[in-house]
Every structure is written in C-alpha cells, then in structure tokens.
Structure 1
Amino acid sequence: MNDSSGNTVPAVEADQTGRGAGGILAGVKVLDLSRVVAGPLAGQTLADLGADVVKIERTGGGDDLRTLGPPWVTSPDDSLEQSTYFQTVNRGKRSLTLDFATPDGAEILRGLIKDADVLIENFRTGTLSRYGLGYDELSKLNPRLIYCSITGFGQTGPYSDRSGYDYLVQAMGGQMAVTGLPDGMTGAGPMRVGVPIADITAGNNAVIGILSAIIDRAKTGKGQHIDISLFDSQVALLLNSLSAWLNARAPLPRTGNDHPTAVPNGVFQVSDGHILIATFNDREFARLAEALGHPEWATDAKYARSRDRLANRVDLTRDMTEALSHHGKLHWMKTINAAKVSCGPINDMSDIEQDEQLAERDMFIKLTHHKMGDVRLVGSPLKFSATPVVYNAPPPLVGEHTDELLRERLTLSDAQIQDLRARNII
C-alpha cells in the first residue's frame, strides 16, 4: 500500500480486542492508569511486546493528551477527533473509563488487580493511597503485582509532593544548562530540547524496571514497587556533562551545534545547504582530511590530535567550510561516508517520512480503527529475530472497551454495567 507521497506503508488491520497475538509478553496483563506521555509510552511499549494493556481513564473525558492539539486525527465522517499527540503513545491498548475515587469504582479496580501482572500509574505521590489503591494495599490482594509509579520527583525526598512536567524537569535537571547557543552569540541562553526528553526517558526507564521485575518475580514469586522519577531520569541523561563537574569541577559550556569536546563534530555549510559531520578520534579525522582534499591536516600540529583541534576549532571550521564550499550535499555525503566518516543531511519531517532506511526497517505503520479510519504511526525501534513486536490495535477511543472488559474480567451483567454508567462510575 502506498501513502499520498508514494511511500510503501505496511497496513495493519488491527485486532480490536488488543489482547496480544504473540510477542514476548503475550499473556501478561497490564493496567495503565497513567496519562499524558511517560506512563502511556511505557504501556505502549509493553503492548508492542505483546502484553494485554488496559488503559484506565477518567470518566467524562479520559486522558488529557486526547485534547492536546491541534493538529488532530479526524474520523472519515468528521464526527470524531483526537490529537495527533495522543496517537504516539497509546496503540495496542483497550480503554476503560472508571471513577475510582468512588467506593464502587475503587472496588472495580481492585477486582481488576487480582489477576493483573503490572500496574502503571503517574498520579502525584500518595494520591492512590488515599483511595486504598497504593502499593501496600494492592500487593496484599495480589502479591505478584508489579506496581510502577512514575512521578516528577519520586516517592521520597523533599520534592516528592510536587508535580513535575517535562519542561520543568529539563530546567531543573540540567538539560537546558547544556543546550543552546554559547554565551556571546545572538540568541545565547538556556534552551529546551524540542521533544519531551525527560518524559521519554522516564517511560523507557519504567519499561526497563518492569521487565526486570518480571524476571525477578519468576525467581521469587513476588512483585514489587518500582519508583521512577522524571527528575532522576533527566539527571542520569547528563552523562559527560555532569561527570565533568563531579570529577574535575569543569562545567561543559553550551556549544550550540558544536560538540563540547569532539572536533570536528557539527553542522557545516556546503554549496547548496548544510550537512552534519561527526568525528570522534584522530583516525576518523585523518580519513576526513583525505576526503576533503587536505591530507596534510592529519599531520598539522594545529589539527593532528583531538585536543589540538579543540583548541583551534575556529580555524579548522574556517578551513573546512572553504573546502566544503566547492560541492553540494549529495557529493559530500557520498564522499565522506565512503571514507568511513559519519555524515548526513539535516532532515525535516517530510525527509524522514521518505527516508529509504526507515522504510526498509518498517518504521512507519498504518493501523485501521473501525471509527477513526487509518492512523499512521511510527513503528517500534525494537527488532527481534524470533519474537517480533506486534501491532494489535490502534489508539482507542475513550472508554471504547469498557463494557467488554467488565464482562470479560469481572463477569458483570449488562444490568450491572448500565447501573454503573447511570451513576457515572464508568
């Protein structure tokens, strides 16, 4: 099947039950009580791995991310719309609406917990415990339960009662201190990363924690509480920036598109635009110098060693820009990559959509929802030789599977379900 731009896109006719047809985690039952990005991303990854993921949403509107637009995905008849953002972290799930702040709603959640393997939540610390739904209470109902909490600052510490969003955590967690143009340049100052990097990392850390706890449970028979913090996750991302301070009291400055220590490593102008060139050692630089027609740079005292290039970055950038100015992007990408030096274009979204490498690796998929129609999504980056990821369902409408799940999991009758709905519990 080809999309409007001519690309071949795998079309997946989704299994509307979303119960996992194969996959490494087939048979694992997950309750996803989270909203917005980090928790839902963790739930989606588990769904891609084959888990049966039930997204539990508040009655009346569901996940706040559903309405965080524009832009929107709109149904063929224009009667329904959901944010494109919501689509990115919610495939493979069934949606059940539930007001667990009520005694009857909390009892329904406890019933679902009894045979669940994993619960993911990202409420403010202590919120679920107020309704008798904290780990201590639920682990008594199900000692095998793996309970993953994702919060801004964690379950302990002086900030534990604060809310925390990605932007705030990027600021507090040092990301903005090392991102942006250097002092002295027009537009200099702290800058956030353009994607919610703290949310994404926390979601991935949650998956690592959950999978580790599943392995531990296979040995001990018991679940445990996993405490994931956006703040912790962001600080752990700082790597060399924080290590330079902790071990040498040497803060790495903002360097814009230049790497703080590896030179040359950044954006360079060519005759018809810009390319990215990246070297990390003297051997790569020698090959780059040859490719640019200046093999003498590899033995020049100013450029021969990494520390020399760092000290003479301005001169090297000037010399490279002059050498690169004689040809365009396609020429230099072919020449430099042939020299075994990393080089590539600066792609925008339309470039990414048409990239042949991504197409070959099935990184774009199309799922079909019975009401919303076709939804195009970015595929999973996880590739397995024997147990590939599965795409069992498109992102659900809010509460789409409530009746189905209450019948399946709790054997409730139609009359009981109608009563719960009349009282706004589901």
Structure 2
Amino acid sequence: MGALTGFIAIELGDFQTAPGAGAILGDLGANVIKIEDPVRGDSLRGLFTMGDTAMMIAEGRHLIFETANRSKRGITLDLKTQKGKEIFYKLIDKADIFYTNYREKVLSDLGADYETLSRRKPTLVYGKIDMYGIKGPVAERRGYDFAAQARSGMMWMMGDRDSPEPAVVYGSVCDESGATMLAMGLITALLNKERNGIGQRVDVSIYGTMIHIQCTGINLTSLRGRGWARHSRKRVRGPLSNFYKCADGKWIFLVEPRADEFWPGLARALGRDDLVNNPKFNSAKGQRENYEEVIKTLDEIFITKSLAEWLQAFEEHGLDKAGFSYSPIFEYQDVISDPQAWANDYLVEFDHPAAGKLKLVGHPMSFSKTPAGIQREAPEHGQHTEEVLAELCDLDWEELARLRDEKVI
C-alpha cells in the first residue's frame, strides 16, 4: 500500500509535464486515470523521433510515453460530446484530484475549466501546469522544455566560460522538474483538503520551476548586480572544484572547497608527496594565487592513469573515509550500471508485458512503511476504459457497448 492509496486522480494531459506528475502520484499509490481522446490520443504516442533519436520500443510503445504514464490506467472519452461530458463529471465526482496541461480555452470548451469543476465539486484539488505561468505578457505562449532552458537562464549558465555559445541539455530536464513541482503542489493541496475540507486550484509553470531550481544563482545576481561567471576549466580560481581528464578519456570532478584540509591526502593519492607542503598547492589561498600552475599540474597528473585507477587510488589512500568530495563524470550508460543507483532503487528492473525485462528509473523517494515504485506499465490507448467506467461510474456492459458504438469511448 502506497502513501496515496485510496485517492483518485483524473488526468487530462498531453506530452510530459502533466502526465509526469501523474506518474509520480501513481508511484505513490494513487488511483490515477488518464483520459485520452478516442481518435487522437496523447501526442507522444505518434512522435516517432525526438532530437534525431528513435523513441519507439517493442510493439510500437513510445519510450517517453512509457516514462511519463507509468503507474496509471488509461481510458478514452470524447469530451466534445454531451455523453462524454456526463461521464467525465461522474469521474470528477469520485475524484480527489484533477490535473491538466491543456490551455485555458480548450479546457473551457471541454467544460473542464476550474470554475466549472470547482462548482460541481468544491473540495476538488485542481492542478494546472503551463509553460510560462498564468499571468504576464507571454502567459498564453506555447512552449516546451528547451524554451524553459532558454528563458530561465539555464542555457547560458551551462557550458564553459570560454565558449561564446549557450548549451542545451537533452532529456526533458525542465519538463520532469515541472512535473515534480506539480505533483508536490497537488499533494500539498490534498493534505489541506484532508485537514480542512477545502479544495483549491494549484498553478505551476515550467518557467517558474526552473527559476526556483536556480534560485541561488538568480538571487545572487539580483543582490550583487552581476551573476556567477560560467565555469571555466582553465581559469577557475579553485582548482579542487574542477574536472580533469584521465588516460582513458573519462573525466573526474573534484568538488572540494576545503582545500587546506584535504590537499595533503590528495597529493599523496596522486603520487606527488613533493607537493604536500608546496605553498602554491597546500592552501586555498595558494591555489587561488597560482591557479594556472595548479590546474596545469593536475592535468598532467590525471592524464597518466585511467579513471578506474584514480578511483582505486583515492579509496586506497583513505580519501573516501576522510570525507573528500569528488565524483567520476558519468555518461547515462555509466549511470545505468552504477551499483549506488541500484542499491537505492533509483534504477529498478521492471517486467514489461510488451518489452520484457527493462532497466528503468525507479522512484527517487523511499518510505519505511508505504513503499513507492512502478505500479504498472503505461496504458495502451483506451486499455482500461470499460474497467474504469464500470468501477467508478457504475456503467454496465450494455451501456459501455452503446457508448463505444456511438464513439463516445
């Protein structure tokens, strides 16, 4: 039993942001029902490639759709018909949560806007995620993950200081961050509903989420009048907060601000006892004043051994036990084979009915009494329509057959 077992959430969502929030709720045990149009379905189902990468897996299943729609059931329902609306409202009557990323005009036309649903059920938690927020000059502008990276300053903060170009990150970082923020808002409003019997609207945007995630850098810019400089591998004044290339082409990142404390142990692990007491190297002050020489020396040292050899040397010299902060720089393939990720169920094996055993991202939170995790694979188009409508709307098979003939479901 999950922390949200017993709660019902209705989704009217497309692509990743709203559906991704539903996957989180489903992982936590909520009974999540995804509504799709009987003909079109979620747009992700037909998006065969993204960023020049094929998205389809076994039996035409879409990789990102599977990621954003796991742990929920799926129905088809034509909300443009009167009968479709009536069934939708019956579902809302049973629901604790409704959430969406549809535009306001579309929601109004479908009778799924906040005013309509809150009048029908005042205790409903109603969540909506937009691109830029519900107010302001670009409130109605459409956009996707990369647009949030661009407008939030994220693209400019990534990359090296010596590069004149911004950098983009693939992998739906902003979409999933927005989905996580929406899930947090919905659960917070649900807690208030349970305590005080009050429903409300929760508004989240991808842009606002990315501003929040970068709050340290943006606040620093606001208060100082200028922002952080981008990282420069060649010119960083703290060489122990820098990354270095190893002999096998892989990289290691030293992430240690306490240079005075850890330099002697690091120097010995690097096989350079001669540098232990060198005033240019053995203090944060010395490293700042001689950063070019320190970086050049560390470059020359790290390139002599593979990443695995350096990780072993660090462990053998007690840097881990001493608390020295560092990390290998992984590619995604390295993450998938990382025992640390598997030990904490950040990655799990899932037996998919179409694709077989898969290695997938698990749930990031661990609960001692109410476990969270993948409850089921993403639904096929309309897979659970009859099951859900019989269960929640008390429709019999004769009524369901008639609705299917009329193309309402």
Q: Same fold (TM over 0.5)?
A: yes
In structure 2, relative to structure 1, the CA distance for the partners of 1:146 and 1:257 (3 Å cut) is: farther
- Would the aligned equivalents of 2:13 and 2:100 in 1 still touch at CA under 8 Å? yes
Match of 2:216 in 1: 240
Distance 1:413 1:125, change over 3 A: same
Alignment equivalent of 2:304, drawn from 323, 326, 334 = 326
Shift of 1:295: 7.1
Kept after mapping to 2: 8 A contact 1:297/1:304: no
Deviation at 1:299, TM superposition (A): 6.4
Of 375, 392, 395 in structure 2, the residue corresponding to residue 409 of structure 1 is 392
Matches for 1:30-109 after TM superposition, within 5 Å: 30-69=9-48, 70-74=54-58, 80-109=59-88
Where does the alignment leave 5 or more consecutive residues of structure 1 unmatched? Answer: 1-21, 75-79
Q: Which moved more, 1:88-97 or 1:324-333?
A: 324-333
2:237–2:291 CA contact under 8 A, matched in 1: no
Q: Could you report, residue by residue, the CA deviation over 1:373-396 in whole angstroms, capped at 9, with x for unpaired residues?
A: 544422111111222114321111
SS of match in other structure, 2:374 = coil
Aligned pair partner of 1:144 in 123, 139, 147: 123
Instruction: Verify the 8 A CA contact 1:68 1:85 in the aligned structure 2.
Output: no
CA distance in 2, matches of 1:257, 1:101: 56
> In 1, distance between residues paired with 2:305 and 2:355?
47
Name the CA shift for 1:258/1:52 in 2 (closer, same or farther; >3 Å). Answer: farther
The corresponding residue for 1:424 is 407
Q: Give 1:221's aligned residue.
A: 197
Q: Give me the TM-score of the superposition, normalised by structure 1.
A: 0.85
Task: Identify if the C-alpha distance between structure 1 residues 133 and 270 changes in structure 2 by more than 3 Å, giving closer, same or farther.
Answer: closer
Which range is displaced more, 227-236 or 276-285? Answer: 276-285
The corresponding residue for 1:194 is: 170
Contact 1:303 1:316 in 2 (8 A): no
Q: Tell me which of the two structures has the higher relative contact order, counting C-alpha pairs closer than 8 angstroms and 6 or more residues apart.
A: 1
- The alpha carbon displacement at 1:286 in A equals 5.1
- The answer to whether residue 256 in structure 2 is matched with residue 279 in structure 1 is yes
The question of whether the paired residues in 2 share the 8 Å contact of 1:125 and 1:151 is answered with no
Distance 2:19 2:254 in 1: 35
> Match of 1:367, SS?
strand
Deviation string for 1:59-79 (max 9, x for gaps)?
2232112233323221xxxxx
TM-score (norm 2): 0.88
> Aligned with 1:127: secondary structure?
helix
Unaligned runs of 5+ in 2: 49-53
In the superposition, relative to structure 1, how do residues 214 and 398 fare at CA in structure 2: closer, same or farther (>3 Å)?
same
Give the C-alpha shift of residue 169 in structure 1. Answer: 1.3
Q: Deviations over 1:147-189 (max 9, x none)?
A: 1101101222222211121111111111111112323x4xx40
Percent identity of the aligned residues? 28
Residue of 168, 177, 181 corresponding to 1:205 = 181
Q: Distance in 2 between matches of 1:34 and 1:317?
A: 49
1:352 matched to 2:335? The reply is: yes
Query: Contact 1:368–1:375 (CA<8 Å) still a contact in 2?
Result: yes
Q: Tell me which residue corresponds to 1:165.
A: 144
CA distance in 2, matches of 1:45, 1:362: 15
Q: Is the 8 A contact 2:255 2:326 kept in 1?
A: yes
How far off its partner does 1:219 sit? 2.0
Contact preservation (8 Å) 1:125, 1:154: no
* Alpha-carbon distance in structure 2 between the residues aligned to 1:424 and 1:162: 32
Q: Which has the higher helix share?
A: 2
Alpha-carbon distance in structure 1 between the residues aligned to 2:19 and 2:236 = 34
| Distance (whole Å) between structure 2 residues aligned to residue 81 and residue 324 of structure 1 | 46
Change (3 A) 1:230 1:262: farther
Q: CA deviation at 1:118?
A: 0.7
SS of the counterpart of 1:143? coil
* 1:179 matched residue in structure 2: 158
Aligned pairs for 1:320-399 (under 5 A) are: 320-337=298-315, 338-339=318-319, 340-370=323-353, 373-399=356-382
Quick check: 1:259–1:265 contact (8 Å CA) kept in 2? no
Match of 1:288 in 2: 266
Contact 1:35–1:122 at 8 Å: present in 2 too?
Answer: yes
Choose 225-234 or 196-205, whichever is displaced more.
Answer: 196-205
What amino acid sits opposite 1:405 in the alignment? V
1:125–1:169 distance in 2 versus 1, CA, 3 Å: farther
Shift, 1:201, TM fit: 1.3
Q: In the alignment, which residue of structure 1 is the partner of 2:103?
A: 124
Partners of 1:197 and 1:257 in 2: CA distance: 24
CA deviations 1:28-60 (Å, max 9, x no partner) are 101111121121111111111111111111222
* Aligned residues: CA RMSD: 2.5
Change (3 A) 1:244 1:412: same
Displacement of 1:226 in angstroms is 0.3
Relative to structure 1, the CA distance from residue 335 to residue 239 in structure 2 (aligned partners, 3 Å threshold; closer, same or farther) is farther
2:182 partner letter = A
Alignment-mate amino acid for residue 174 of structure 2: A
C-alpha displacement of 1:281: 2.6
- Report the residue type matching 1:129 in the other structure: S
SS at match of 1:114: helix
Cα distance change of structure 1 residues 141 and 271 upon mapping to structure 2, 3 Å threshold: same
Distance 2:282 2:153 in 1: 31
